[in-house]
Chain A
Amino acid sequence: MAHTVKIPVPALNKEISVSTGLFINNEFVPSVDSSEVIQCFNPATEEVIASVVAGSAKDIDVAVAAARTAFKTTWGKNVTGWERSRLMNKLADLIERDAQELAELETLNNGKPVAVARDFDIGDSIQCLRYYAGWADKITGQTIEVDNKSKMAFTRHEPIGVCGQIIPWNYPINMWSWKVAPALAVGCTIVMKPSEITPLTALKLSELVVEAGFPPGVINTVPSLGPVGGAALSAHPDVDKVAFTGSTITGRKIMEAAAKSNLKKVSLELGGKSPQLIFESADLKQAAAWSALGICYNTGQDCTAGSRIYVQDSVYDKFIDILVSTVKETVIGDGFDKSTGGGPLVSKAQFDRVWGYIDAGKAEGAKVVLGGERRNTKGYFVDPTIFTDVNSDMKIVKEEIFGPVLSIGRFKTEEEAVALANNTTYGLGAGLHSTDASQCMRVSGLLEAGTVWVNQYNVLSNNVPFGGKKQSGIGRELGSYALEEYTSIKAVHWNIGEKLQWPLSL
C-alpha cells in the first residue's frame, strides 16, 4: 500500500496530495514485511485524515542500507561542499515555493495556525537550510605545528556517516530542518523517523528532496512507531549516529540502545521545565508579554516552554494582574480560523495527559487564577491555565506538562530566585527580567540552562546554538555548533623526515 492520497481541506475547499509509502532511495515504497498503517488525525476535529505505511524494523534495515550505499558512492566524501550547498539551496527554494501548501498540511495534522506554520515554522526552516547550505563548503580542519622538520599534522573534519534522526510532533517541519540541514551540510546521509503523530509533512518534503536533485539514499523517511522504528534505529549496528528530539524518558532509552549496540554517537534534545524570573526592576508589562509567549506559544507544546514563573514579592500582585489579563487575550481555536493564536493539543493522548496535570494541580491545592475549565466541544482544545500558590513538591511544578499550563511562585531575594529556578533535573531554557545590568550578568551566569534569555523569551536564531544542560539533553543544535554533532575528527600524522631506529635507543 504505497500510493498517493488526496487529503481534503474543507476550510479552504481544496485537496492536498501526499505520498503515503516509505521514502527510501528516492522512491515511495510499501513495507517489505508488514501491512500495518499509521492513522493521522486532525486534532481540531478528532478525525482521521490519512493513513500512511508504518515502517517495520526490517524497513529500517532497508533504509539504513540505502543510506550506507549513498554514503559510500554518491555522498559522503564523494560529493563536494559546493554540490551539497547547491542542492540544499535548491531544496530551500522549493520549500519556499510550496510554503502555503506545506503550511496547510502542517495545520491539518498538527493543529497550529496556518499563518504561524507558514511564516514562522516554515520561514525559519527555509532560513535554516540556507544557513547550513552556506556552511557546506566551509568545513575546515586545522594544520598543527608539531615538528616542522619531520611532521605534517592536520585534522580532517569528516562526516560521521549514516545518521538516524528521530523528530517530534510539536514543530514537524521546523524540527525536520534542524536535523537535516547540518547533517547534509557536512556530508552525512540520513534515515529520518518523523513522529507517528505527524508524519505527513515529512513525506511531502521527501517529494521535494527528489525534485531538488539529491541522489537516492541520501535522505530516507520512514514513518514508524517509536518502539518499532525508533528503537530499531537506536540499536542498529550500521547506524553511526542517532539524533533525537523528544521526551527525556525516550531519550534515555535511545542512549541505552546506542550504548548496548555499537556505541553510536548520540545527541539528544529533551524536555524542560524552564523558569522565568521576574525581578522588581523589570518592565512588568513587557515581562508579562514575554511570559504569555513563553507558555502560550504553540499552545505550550514547546520544550523550552516557560512553565514556571517566579515573581519577586514586591511586584507580585501587580505582575499577576497584568499577566492574567495578558494571557486572557490568547485565542485557542482551529488552525484554519484566522483569529486563532494557538491551535489544539496535538492528540488525545496529550490532551488526557495535560488534563491529568490540571486535575492534579487542583487536587494538590494549587489555586487556579485563569482557565482550568474543560470545553464541551470536539477537538483537543485546552485553554491557558494559570496556577498560583504552588510549592516545589507539586507535580505541576516538577514535571513537564507540555501544554498551556503555568505555575507561578514567589521569592524575596535573588539567591532564592536562582535556587528555585535551578531546582529541577532539567536545564533547557531560562528567562530573567530585570533592568539592573549587574543582576542580569550575575543571574544569567548562575542559571543552569543551555539557553538563557535576558528580557525576552523563546526567541531563537538559526545561527545561535541551542541545547540542554543536565537532563535536558546532550549536544547542541543550530549555529556552527551543530556541525560538530555530525563531524568526526580524524588526525593525520604525516611523517616527512623521521627515520626510526628499532629497538629505540634510550
Chain B
Amino acid sequence: MTSIFTHEFNTPIYKGKTSFNTGLYIDGKFVEGSDKTTIDVVNPATGNIITKVAEATPKDVDLAVAAAHKAFDTTWGLNMGGAGRSRLLAKLASLMEEHQQELAALEALDNGKTFTWAMDVDTTFAIDTIRYYAGWADKIHGQVQETDEKKLSYTRHEPIGVVGQIIPWNFPLLMMSWKLGPALATGNCIVMKPSEFTPLTAIRMCELIHEAGFPPGTFNLLTGYGHTVGAAISSHMKVDKVAFTGSTLVGRKIMEAAAKSNLKDITLELGGKSPNIIFNDADLDQAVNWAAHGIYWNHGQACCAGSRIFVQSGIYDEFLAKFTEKTASLKVGDPFDLDSYQGPQVSKIQYDRIMDYIQSGKDQGATVHLGGDRHGTEGFYIKPTIFTDTTPDMKIVQEEIFGPVGVVIKFEDEEDVIRQANDTVYGLAAAVFSQNITRALNTAHRLKAGTAWVNCVNQLHANVPFGGFKQSGIGRELGAYALNNYTAVKSVQVNLGHVM
C-alpha cells in the first residue's frame, strides 16, 4: 500500500494544502518499493521528519527500465511525432504553472530555500525550461549531405532510448526540468532518481506528468540512495545513457560504472570552485551586489557559485567594506518568513561538512572576516561567512565547500590573477568585472570555464548552454546543445544507382 502525504501550509508567506502519493512511479502507477522500505524526508529548518516516502531498490530499477523500454518501443520513441511530444510538454508546463505556489512551498519545506526564491527562480525557471523544450520537440532536424546524384545520404537524429537521470538536492525541481525537458522532447524514456534528501517536488511532479497525458513508462521516478539505485542505474545493461548532476566524486563512480557495464553514453554536471575576478575599473557597487549573489545565492549550494572572489588591490579595501556590509545585511531565517534571504543548509551532513571547512580555514590561519559559525539553535543554519588572508593551498581555497562561505583574495597583476583563477581542477564557471570591455572580454575568453560571466554572476537562461570544462563535467545542458545529449545520429546512405 502506498501512502498519501498531506500537508497544510499555514505560514506568513503562503497558505495552502498539498496532498499526493509518495510511492515510486513506475509504468504509470504509484507502487511501493520491492523491499517495502521507506526513506525519511527531513525538514532542514527544524531537523524534524516531514514524511516517509517509498524507497526503491535495484529490483525496482529493473522494473522501471523494462517499463521504459516497452513505452519506447510502442507509445513513445518515434511512435509519437514531435508535435505530439510538444503538446504534452506544453501541457505539463501549464500544469506546473497552475500548481506553482504549491510546488514552491514543497521545495522550500524539503530543501530549506526560501519560498520567495523557490517562486521567483526555481519554479519559474523550471516552467520556462519545460516550455522551451516543448518548442524543440518538433524541430529535431537531421541533414542531407551532398555526395552524388546516385545517392541519397542523410542523417536522422534519433532518440537514444532509455535514459537514466540522477539529479541533486540543491535545485530539485529545476534540475528535474533541465533533465526531463530535452530527454522527453527528443523522444527518450526516463528512469529518474531524485536526491534522497529532496524527493518531494519530483514525486509531486509524477501526478502532473500523469495528468498531462504522458504514456505509462515514458517517465519513471525511483526515490532511493545513490549507492543502491544510482549505482544500479549507472551499471544497468539496458540503460542506454546516464545523465548526472552532483559531486565530482560521484561523477567519477558513474563514469566508471558506465564504462564497466555497457559503455553507455554519459553526461556529467559536477562541482566547481568558480573564480570571480573584480578589476580596479569595475563598477564597484554593482560588483559588490553581484559578488554577494555569486556566493550566497541558494545558501552557497550552487555548482557554479563564485566562491573565490579576486579583488584588485586598488579597490580591495573599499570592496571588502561594502561587501561585508552587504553580506551582513542578508537575513537568515525561516524559509517561509517574508523577509528571509537565506534558509538552512539542506541536511545535517552538509551542515557538518561546511562547518568542517570553516574550521579548517580557521586552523590553517585564514581570517574570519564575517560570520564563521552557526545561526540560531535549531535546524541547519549557517551565517554567511567571509574569509580573507588566505593562501592558495588552503582547503577553503582549493575545495568546493557548497555553503555560504566566500573567500576574498587580493591581487595586483592581471596575468597572475588569470593564472590563479585557472589553477583548479574545476572549470564550471567564472566571472569578470571591469568597465573596460576589451579587458573584460579578453579575460572572459582566457578563463577555462564552461560559462564566463562578464559583469554578472549566476545568471542562467533556458536557451543558453551550461556545463563544465575539466573536472567540472562532460557535455552541456540547456539551449539547443542539450538536445545532442539525448539524440543518436544515424547516417542513412541509400544507393539509388551505383552498380557494384
B237 proximal to A (CB < 8 A)? no
Chain B 86-116 against A: per-residue CB contact (8 Å), 1 yes, 0 no? Answer: 1000100000000000000000000000000
**CB within 8 A of A137: which of B438, B441, B462?**
B462
* Complex CA–CA separation, A285 to B134 (angstroms): 39
A426 proximal to B (CB < 8 A)? no
Residues facing B in A61-91 (CB within 8 A) are 81-82, 85, 89
B136 proximal to A (CB < 8 A)? yes
* Complex CA–CA separation, A89 to B90 (angstroms): 10
Contact B462 A131 (CB under 8 A): no
**CB within 8 A of B496: which of A138, A438, A495?**
A438
Contact B497 A441 (CB under 8 A): yes
* Complex CA–CA separation, A136 to B445 (angstroms): 29
B128 proximal to A (CB < 8 A)? yes
Contact A138 B441 (CB under 8 A): no
Q: Which residues of B contact A134 (CB under 8 A)?
A: 86, 134-139
Q: Which residues of B contact A140 (CB under 8 A)?
A: 463, 480
**Number of A residues, CB within 8 Å of B:** 29
* Complex CA–CA separation, A480 to B132 (angstroms): 16
A39 proximal to B (CB < 8 A)? no
* Complex CA–CA separation, A135 to B141 (angstroms): 13
Q: Which residues of B contact A127 (CB under 8 A)?
A: 83
* Complex CA–CA separation, A442 to B437 (angstroms): 55
Known contacts A134-B86, A148-B445, A497-B438, A85 near B135 by CB under 8 Å = yes
Contact B442 A131 (CB under 8 A): no
Contact A135 B90 (CB under 8 A): no
Known contacts A137-B462, A497-B442, A441 near B150 by CB under 8 Å = yes
Q: Which residues of A contact B90 (CB under 8 A)?
A: 89, 130
B393 proximal to A (CB < 8 A)? no
Contact A442 B136 (CB under 8 A): no
A496 proximal to B (CB < 8 A)? yes
B152 proximal to A (CB < 8 A)? yes
* Complex CA–CA separation, A381 to B150 (angstroms): 47
Contact B152 A138 (CB under 8 A): no
Q: Which residues of B contact A85 (CB under 8 A)?
A: 131, 135
Contact B150 A137 (CB under 8 A): no
B149 proximal to A (CB < 8 A)? yes
* Complex CA–CA separation, A133 to B93 (angstroms): 15
Q: Which residue of B lies closest to A494 (CB)?
A: B441
Contact B442 A496 (CB under 8 A): yes
Known contacts A82-B128, A497-B442, A137 near B135 by CB under 8 Å = yes
Residues facing A in B116-137 (CB within 8 A) are 128, 131-132, 134-137
Contact A138 B135 (CB under 8 A): yes
A463 proximal to B (CB < 8 A)? yes
Q: Which residues of A contact B149 (CB under 8 A)?
A: 441-442, 445
Q: Which residue of B lies closest to A463 (CB)?
A: B138
Q: How far is the CB of A448 from chain B (nearest CB, A)?
A: 15
Contact A138 B480 (CB under 8 A): yes
Known contacts A85-B131, A442-B497, A445-B149, A135 near B442 by CB under 8 Å = no
Q: Which residues of A contact B131 (CB under 8 A)?
A: 82, 85
Q: Which residue of B lies closest to A136 (CB)?
A: B135
Q: How far is the CB of B120 from chain A (nearest CB, A)?
A: 15
Residues facing B in A102-143 (CB within 8 A) are 127, 130-131, 133-138, 140
**CB within 8 A of A135: which of B128, B135, B150?**
B135
- Residue among B138, B141, B149, B445 facing the most chain A CB atoms (10 A cut-off): B138
A152 proximal to B (CB < 8 A)? yes
Known contacts A89-B90, A152-B441, A441 near B135 by CB under 8 Å = no
A437 proximal to B (CB < 8 A)? yes
- List 10 A-B residue pairs with CB atoms under 8 Å apart, sorted by A's residue number: A82-B128, A127-B83, A131-B138, A134-B139, A138-B136, A138-B139, A437-B494, A438-B150, A463-B139, A497-B438
By Cβ-Cβ distance, the 9 closest A-B pairs, closest first, are: A134-B135, A441-B496, A438-B496, A496-B441, A496-B438, A438-B497, A137-B463, A463-B138, A496-B442
11 other A-B residue contacts (CB within 8 Å) besides A133-B135, A137-B462, A438-B150? A85-B135, A130-B86, A131-B83, A134-B135, A137-B132, A137-B135, A138-B135, A441-B149, A441-B150, A441-B152, A442-B496
Partner-A contacts on B (CB < 8 A): 82-83, 86, 90, 128, 131-132, 134-139, 141, 149-150, 152, 437-438, 441-442, 445, 462-463, 480, 494, 496-497
